[in-house]
Structure 1
């Protein structure tokens, strides 16, 4: 039976009267890659920073490894790797010195792991931090977050600044870690990343979790994207069917998102004398927008 590595219960954080997050509740199982998605400002970073005791909650509670995130933060940190959305380092240090310094915080020899990750990410460890591009600083953050072989990796918008090839290398590294049993919490507003990586997701809107489900359920939740080619002289109201959203008609081309019985859909389409029909799974982006309507 799987155990929970992260448990969040009615977690709220307010900055005066300003809402950060409100009554956020979810758990992440051991060995899971869990996606935490929503647009910028939805509360993803606030949740993560509260989990890591970088800020304190207004109410509610959170546990990692069964330990209270605030009371036992130093103990938890030994087994957690964290990549913030924006990385800030000592600008005058070389990459090598910075990573070696980070390794001393975990009281273990991380030299082999540092060398391996730096090579795969094509990171020049002899350069000074101040001379690095944004993308290379992100690579330093990745190595710093993984060098101690943590049990839990928390990633906040991790791919910003990485080129597509380096993103793929990064995802390969994450999958390898996950195959070793490492649990990953992956925050992003780029849904294709989440779709590629995650087992389950929580969708965050205005500081609240509005949906929690596995990735297959989300995509197979009876939503269909339908494209029809019909006689161009039909009226816009020729298709009468409950469950249709995002209806668009352009001449003889009709497209819409549909949720409901496929048999009812076919019955409704039949009188239109369609010359062509394509029914496909909508993208995660299109499903996501449904939640934000």
Structure 2
């Protein structure tokens, strides 16, 4: 199979298993059951990066390239509400502000935003749902076989083509549970990717993202997450009644966000609101607290 791809005898292929290198993961496509919309899941198998947030940022670029190969000229991007989602959102907004052109989707929920919830999955709100590959893998399996108990995948397009910076093959993945109806669509998905030159589109997206500072943005994230030689001891300020909730903090950064406020003499507590993690502060310190969190890169 690889020899046929390398020699250009075939332009793409569909297979049950392939060892993609680190940096490459597959971009799947499903039919959302709520409204019957097609939705791209970026990504579904493989490892784009060993760091979660870095991986999801690159998954976004991979998803955009695939969406364009599928004929969506201006795909709308949503970020699934999993660990790391807020960090991904901040990084993508910075990338966007520095010239990388794409559009965020808006959640169906009343509070909107680009971070997607369960009902957005069912409705197919965004054109591209960005997630980590393990969650994406789970989603593909659920959407493809929820009517059969999981033993036979009937709907959707499979786990999709492997995409990554500089990758030069179109290899679409299906599973041992994939049935004939899904494999039929996976073959069409592969053919469409090859016909519309997915590899060239991916190269263009990475070139544009790198020009907007992709590597620098990721470098800052990785530097921030390096383990400190010693954790600075920060004394908790005197307790106050905390009734003001500050949303938009990633669960992985919640305790660090509270400590950054303590350092400035602002008492805070971590909590969980109806839409996700929150930092709780007193009403009279709310504005100052938000400014401190922004200054320290938590919002």
**What's the TM-score, normalizing by structure 1?**
0.25
**What's the TM-score, normalizing by structure 2?**
0.25
Larger radius of gyration: 1
- The structure with the greater share of residues assigned to helix is 2
- The structure with the greater share of residues assigned to strand is 1
